[in-house]
Structure 1
Amino acid sequence: MISTEKIKEIKQALNRIKSNELFVRSSTYSVLLNYLVKKAIAGEDLKEYTIGVDLFGENYKNDKNDGTVRSKMYKLRKKLSKYYETDGKEELLIFDIEKGQYNLSFLSADEYFKSKHGKTKTVTIPIKYIKLLLGVILLSLISFFVIKTIVSKPNFIWEQYFEKTADNLLIISDQFIVYEKLEDGKMYGISYPEINNYNDFIKYTQEHPEKELKPTDYTLMSKMAPFTVNTLSKWFEFNKKDFDLKLESKLKYEDIQNNNILFVGQYKTMNLTKSLFLQNSKVFTTFGDGFKYKNDSNEKVYNTKFGNNLKVEYAMVSYTTLNNGKSALYFVSNNDIGVMATVNKFTNNKWLAEFKQQLPSKSKHFNALFEVSGMQRNDVSCKLVELEALKN
């Protein structure tokens, strides 16, 4: 059984051979070599007829009069031998095919040299290369410890979440669903924007007595939920921490009191968290299907736009401290892609370091508005359009 690391080494060696001029202009021999390497990795025992049928068609004759395979194998051995005598003389892994055989073997340079000349190949390394190698090793060790120190230290946004004693709660927005009896007399699951919790349900039924409604035992989540949970799970696992998970519709006040909060989802389905989101902002408010930015000199509206040639949505990332001293980090958009794109951004150490440079030196908390545009909207097309630094 060949190890994964060995297979990787074999494929790298194969690519070097196939890119050599001996094989670039001879596609037949590149295909044949590729086939032999694949079969050798799989441990299959090859025969002339098997190669003939696989590579030269179903009509390949199973007799000694059809010498196509033998001819191709002979020329392939010649090409490999010439390669290892010229451009490939420094190769450490050798592809070897014994005369009269069809199976390819993987040999070390010493094994190959010994089989051909009866003695081990001697390699002399100039002293300047030894010095260079030692220098590279030293630099690698220094880089390793520097990178380890940087990676092991959590980014300023995540410090409190990754403390050893931290309790973290990820809140996923979900849509409250009710059963409604329609004209055909059947009950159907339906969502109303006015109903986001049981209290809303009671109020709505009182205002609309003509409708026959009752609560369901399930809620609705969009595709944003599994994608962001997956991304954040990997991020927390990498930093040796975890979090609990709760749906917005099931959230209680004590959940917020006892945990650092992460929220991902839509503003329009917010319930208890709505009173906390953007509470410290001086310039941002939710507006329609997006957000409004207003300061002393101007006012801007950032609303979702969908058309044949234009798709733009906005996502707010808000990082603040709650009254209990716990951290709260919100990823909010009324569309899936905005939430997914910003979560990807804020779980990337390199991007986070660049983002921090845009904040005043003494500022730690913020409200940041991002635009995600284009037909194929993703975190690559996600750009910062407004930033508010908070004092707390």
Structure 2
Amino acid sequence: MINKNEEKSIKEALDRICSHKLFVNSSTNINLLKYLVEKAIAQEEINEITIGSELYGIDYSENKNNSTVRSYLYKLRNKLADYYKEAGTNESLLFNISKGQCNLNFLSPTEYYKSQGEKSESLSIPIKYLKISAGVLLLSMLSFLLVKTIVDKPNFIWEAYFDTNSENLLIVSDQFVVGEKFPDGKERAVLYSEVKNNSDFINYSQKHPEKSLHLTDYTVMSKMAPYTVNVLSNWFATNKSRFHLKLESKLNYDDARTHNTLFVGQYKTMNLSQSLFLKDSKVFSTFGDGFKYHNGDTEKVYNTRFGGIQKVEYAMVSYYPLGDGKNALYFVSNNDIGVMATVRNFTDKKWLNEFSSQLPKEAKYFNALFEVSGLQRTDISCKLVELEVLK
């Protein structure tokens, strides 16, 4: 049983951790840590499903193998280890989450470092050799870091997403599926452009009482979904970062507020993202099967068009701030190839550097419209046709 003095010490230690620079900008880590500490003080046994259901509202009936909690625990465990390496000498009570476990324990420094398999050893070195070695090592490290920084520094578009403390979310567009019973007595899956969420379904059902409709328990995605998820997964892994995945139909405002977001998909299937996409644009809007550019007396319409065996379509890449230091990067086209082509290019270092060279030096955020074309969808080209610099 934890007494009041022990509980006070625990909460003081928790406050110090949450206000430290490693945690202060990561609401996900803070919320999970506070939850685990609260359960540990109450001496409640918890598991992955308990945490997912109570803290994140995850419905495990949809996906029993949902790995969200495991991912969050892994990141929190590493973050605590980093904190104790940096500030652990001042702590008399340490928080520990053993690998493969969900419950948090309160340990003394001796118990904690023993559980980590760490040993403290001392070594005597003559001071003159220590100075020489330190000088050589410092110069070597500085040279290495300088070269590595120049070579490995991510393009400004991806910088926020590849930061060590970043919380990233990939949103994939999907389409609601409605079940409808037809006069022949058979039920079929139907896609209605007017129905993008539960609220749309209710409104549509009320407008069409003559139809026998019900919601299905699944949505559909086009072929761009697996392609772009695979490309972006490899891109993030190469840059030692990661993202969480969510369908547009399950998106809420807290997701956008607490993450750097990426969106891949069609405008016509957007739900909540409609209110965010192109929200800061002064010249672009969606129009028909493409986009409209209106700047002063100049107005241009960019719609999908066909010509012989070649199809030309348009894709918008929008990069803008969300607030609280979070950014959004949208890859949007009403056709798969437009999304796939822009994602492919923006994950290619050489192409990305060439694109960045076309931007004004002061540019940080932008809306860029691309014309995507190719003979029978092979040898695809992706050409910048309009650009709006936001700031």
> Do the structures match in fold with TM over 0.5?
yes
For residues 1-392 of structure 1, the aligned pairs below 5 Å read 148-377=148-377, 380-391=380-391
Measure, in 1, the Cα distance between the counterparts of 2:156 and 2:281: 20
Q: Deviations over 1:196-238 (max 9, x none)?
A: 1111001100111111100000000000000000000000000
Residues 179 and 213 in structure 2, CA contact (< 8 A), matched pair in contact too: yes
- Name the SS for the 1:374 alignment partner: strand
Q: Deviations over 1:294-341 (max 9, x none)?
A: 111311000011343331110000000013331000000000000000
Q: Deviation at 1:165?
A: 0.6
Q: Deviations over 1:162-208 (max 9, x none)?
A: 11110000000000000001121111110000001111001100111
The gaps in structure 1 that reach 5 residues or longer are 1-143
Measure, in 1, the Cα distance between the counterparts of 2:373 and 2:342: 13
Q: Deviation at 1:357?
A: 1.4
- Name the SS for the 1:200 alignment partner: helix
Q: Deviation at 1:350?
A: 1.2
Q: Deviation at 1:378?
A: 5.7
- Name the SS for the 1:387 alignment partner: strand
Residue identity opposite 1:206 in structure 2? Q
Between 349-358 and 305-314, report the one with greater CA deviation: 305-314
Measure, in 1, the Cα distance between the counterparts of 2:387 and 2:296: 15
Residue identity opposite 1:205 in structure 2? S
Q: Deviation at 1:380?
A: 4.3
Change (3 A) 1:250 1:156: same
Residues 309 and 376 in structure 2, CA contact (< 8 A), matched pair in contact too: no
Residues 374 and 380 in structure 2, CA contact (< 8 A), matched pair in contact too: no
Measure, in 2, the Cα distance between the counterparts of 1:378 and 1:328: 30
Residue identity opposite 2:229 in structure 1? V
Residue identity opposite 1:263 in structure 2? F
- Name the SS for the 1:318 alignment partner: strand
Change (3 A) 1:284 1:329: same
Q: Deviation at 1:149?
A: 3.9
Measure, in 2, the Cα distance between the counterparts of 1:313 and 1:146: 43
Residue identity opposite 1:194 in structure 2? E
Change (3 A) 1:309 1:379: closer
Residues 372 and 378 in structure 1, CA contact (< 8 A), matched pair in contact too: no
The gaps in structure 2 that reach 5 residues or longer are 1-143
Residues 337 and 378 in structure 1, CA contact (< 8 A), matched pair in contact too: no
Q: Deviations over 1:240-282 (max 9, x none)?
A: 0000000000111111111000000000000111101001111
Q: Deviation at 1:369?
A: 0.3
Residue identity opposite 1:212 in structure 2? S
The corresponding residue for 1:46 is none
- Name the SS for the 2:323 alignment partner: coil
- Name the SS for the 1:281 alignment partner: coil
Residue identity opposite 1:303 in structure 2? N
Would you say how many aligned residue pairs link Structure 1 and Structure 2?
A: 249
- Name the SS for the 1:177 alignment partner: strand
Change (3 A) 1:147 1:184: farther
Measure, in 2, the Cα distance between the counterparts of 1:228 and 1:151: 26
Measure, in 2, the Cα distance between the counterparts of 1:270 and 1:212: 25
Residues 261 and 327 in structure 1, CA contact (< 8 A), matched pair in contact too: yes
TM-score of the pair, normalised by structure 1: 0.61
Q: What percentage of residue pairs aligned between the two structures are identical?
A: 68
Q: Deviations over 1:355-380 (max 9, x none)?
A: 11111111110000001112243674
Measure, in 1, the Cα distance between the counterparts of 2:380 and 2:309: 18
Change (3 A) 1:307 1:184: farther
Q: Deviations over 1:55-98 (max 9, x none)?
A: xxxxxxxxxxxxxxxxxxxxxxxxxxxxxxxxxxxxxxxxxxxx
Q: Deviations over 1:115-169 (max 9, x none)?
A: xxxxxxxxxxxxxxxxxxxxxxxxxxxxx99875444211100010011110000
The corresponding residue for 1:122 is none
Residues 290 and 302 in structure 1, CA contact (< 8 A), matched pair in contact too: yes
